[in-house]
Structure 1
Amino acid sequence: MNTNFAARVIGAVALSSVIGGAALAADWRGWNIHPEGYPNTAGMDAFARLLEEKTDGEVTLQMFHGGTLGSQPDAIEQVRLGGIEVGQFNLGPIGPIAPEANVVSLPFLFKDVSHMFRVLDGEPGQMIADGMAAKGITPLAWFDAGARSFYNTEKPIETPADVEGMKVRVMNNDLYSGMIAELGGNPSPMAFAEVYQALKTGVVDGAENNWPSYESTGHYEVAGYYSLSQHLIIPECICVNTDAYNGLSDEMKVAVSEAAQEAAELQRDLWAEREAASREKVESAGATTNEIADKAPFQEAMTPVYEAYLEANPDIRPLVEAIQATE
């Protein structure tokens, strides 16, 4: 974090402690990277409205969309330090801060999106939430960010053998590169903006992402096979600064949590609609899509990836096992 940014955050925290204390803390500001019209943006606007209704105006939230309060890494630090109170974050960039949150980046950890929400609503989800809260970010509710699946220029993927020899673009993360390597493919980290041309020219054979991204980027135009591996399912959250949340009365905490849960239900419904619309568009354009009936062979192929991860993070093993034991 640069010096100027740190000074701004510390100054904001100091000002908050000097002026009005509890009253000022109830006037929250919220960060969101997504634009108007996006399911997450609608969810956060609903959260702001419900928050004011359920607390009788004692807690208000002014949302700033489109990343206007800074980049996601900076916003995460601002929420941790109290420079802003609320953030709508993906758990991916929170992983390096809270090891419990990083577990969701393990490939093929969840069977599907429904399984992810069962995990998050149970004891493993509480373990993740506690780990995040200890680092200054308390998750109030979980948003749906879809599942990432494989797409390529050559053929449907049904088994791990179908990935062998493929050059597959991945995000710059050792876990994702390890996933492709264990499936017999050649991982090719590159900037997301470069993927369309790389697929078109054969620099890579495939990539992976969720339905809306596959559709909105036009990747379906140059890589017409989309296989629902759902290998990476990373949730997003409505997160609040831990001290700000703990400073509320028990009654206010209940109201804030209820508002977040209702907003999350709306976001999940809107996300499902967006996914369905994206799928219909790419299929209507001629893309070939297929379900993968048996994901067990893919999960079994990840054993070396998991072993390396757990050797480096032994304290996380109980959490991984609790997730895997969740039906």
Structure 2
Amino acid sequence: MKLLTKQPTVILGTTLSVFLLLAGCADDVKTTGNVTTSPQAEGKKYTFRLADTHPDNYPTVLGDKKFAELVNQKSNGRIKIDVFPNSQLGEEKAVIEQVQLGAIEFTRVSSGPLAEFNKSLGVFSLPYIFDNAAHEWKFLESDKGKELLSSLESSKLKGLAYYDSGARNFYSKKPVKSVEDLKGMKLRVQQNKINIDLIDALGANASPMPYGEVFSSLQTGVIDGAENNYPSYDSSNHYQVAKNLVLDGHQRVPEVVMISKVTWDKLGDEDKKIIQEAATESVKTQREEWAKFEKNSEAKVKAAGATVTEVTDLKPWQDKVKPVIDKYRSEYKDVLDAIDQARK
């Protein structure tokens, strides 16, 4: 009788022990969306998305991929970033909105459309504020340049790094030999107010539209021309329908690699450090790829029959857009002063 009274207790205790062991294992790994938690092993695992407008072999996308590779290496495979080029996740403005919400975690966008989300970035759309690439990068790497990047946090975005985008030039279906030739043309610009003012000052008509719509708009005559850098003029095939390029270099508008502030705030300090370091280190690769691509693009469009006109005297162009600088000078005074300082 004593044996019979003790046996259920042993069975019950064993069963309870197994149940608790299984419960403990179940708590050891939790998956929520694209985040996997494994606290006893290696910490959280993430799979993020990064959106880019440009084609797969474009310098910004190559920079994105280097960034993703470095994050993966530094996190020992815990953090994976999938790069989606070619506007697969949407055009820039729509993607920025999704990044603000945390629906897309990362993006690389031009600072041009970013000005509609954070006014501070509008300074880069002002014409002829940089003399050349060296002047631009001296400013971007200065304390004031870094401060501008940090200002994105007030817009639910976290700026991680600047990428190169060269100088922007006008191209059109009709020949352009001087600034006067732009008068009356319908020109596509990036979607921000300063760009519209710039085109108005040149005597042309501004047509803000997403980048992905430019080719068909040129083809069908909705617009007469647009403006961009050599690699974009090439990779977008715009040179096939707008064969006249004038090298006026009116803007140097850097690209920005960003993470959603929603996503950033959920990360631990170590993961934040990994992501920031990887973004900063990826800039070297992106700039090298940019320099190579720019040279190849120049050779390609010239070989394809595009007419490329060098501007030897910028003063008539600068005089035309001086009202734009004057209009925004007080708003961006401290930044413009820092840009002038970087010139010395």
Partner of 1:34: 54
Distance in 2 between residues matched to 1:19 and 1:53, nearest whole Å: 18
Percent of matched pairs sharing the same residue: 30
1:114 lines up with 2:134 in the alignment:
yes
Check whether the contact 1:170–1:176 (CA below 8 A) recurs between aligned residues: no
Given the alignment, which residue of 75, 88, 91 partners 1:55?
Answer: 75
1:189 aligns with 2:207: yes
The 5 Å alignment of 1:266-305 reads: 266-305=285-324
Tell me how far apart the structure 2 counterparts of residues 300 and 104 of structure 1 sit (CA, whole Å): 18
3-state SS of 1:87 partner: strand
Q: Distance in 2 between matches of 1:133 and 1:291?
A: 40
Please state if 1:156 is matched with 2:172.
Answer: no
Contact 1:107 1:175 in 2 (8 A): no
Q: CA 1:223–1:164 in structure 2 vs 1: closer, same or farther (change >3 Å)? A: closer
The alpha-carbon distance between structure 1 residues 114 and 207, as it changes in their structure 2 partners (threshold 3 A), is same
Could you tell me the TM-score, scaled by structure 1's length? 0.77
Change (3 A) 1:57 1:228: same
Output the aligned Cα RMSD. Answer: 3.3
Number of the residue aligned with 1:170? 188
Cα deviation, residue 121, structure 1: 0.9
CA 1:223/1:35 → structure 2, altered by over 3 Å: closer, same or farther? closer
- 2:85 is aligned, of 57, 65, 71, to 65
Cα separation, 2, equivalents of 1:19 and 1:278: 43
- What's the counterpart of residue 320 of structure 1? 336
Q: Which has the larger radius of gyration?
A: 2
**Per-residue deviation at 1:190?**
6.9
Cα deviations by residue, 1:62-108 (Å, 9 ceiling, x for unpaired)? 33333333443333233223233221222222211111122212222
Alignment partner, residue 46 of structure 1: 66
Q: TM-score, normalised on structure 2?
A: 0.74
- Superposed displacement of residue 179, structure 1: 2.4
Name whichever of 270-279 and 144-153 sits farther off: 144-153
Q: Does 1:140 align with 2:160?
A: yes
Partner AA of 1:61 in structure 2: I
1:179 is the counterpart of 2:198: yes
Q: Do the aligned partners of 2:199 and 2:206 also contact (CA within 8 Å) in 1?
A: no
Counterpart residue identity of residue 221, structure 2 = A
Contiguous gaps of at least 5 residues in structure 1: 1-14
Cα gap change, 1:236 to 1:194, in 2 (>3 Å)? same
Q: C-alpha distance in 1, partners of 2:310/2:303?
A: 17
Whole-angstrom distance in 2 between the partners of 1:136 and 1:123 = 21
Task: Kindly provide the amino acid, as one letter, of the partner of residue 276 in structure 1.
Answer: K
**1:128 correspondence with 2:141:** no
CA distance in 2: counterparts of 1:237 and 1:176, whole angstroms = 18
Task: Report if the CA contact (8 A) 1:78-1:84 is conserved.
Answer: yes
Alpha-carbon distance in 2 for matches of 1:74, 1:182: 28
Give matches, 1:251-270, under 5 Å. Answer: 251-270=270-289
Measure the CA separation in 1 of the matches of 2:158 and 2:38.
Answer: 20
Deviation of 1:211 (Å):
1.6
Equivalent-residue separation in structure 1 for 2:99 and 2:238 (angstroms)? 34
Cα distance in 1 for residues equivalent to 2:176 and 2:97: 43
Q: Distance in 1 between matches of 2:284 and 2:123?
A: 24
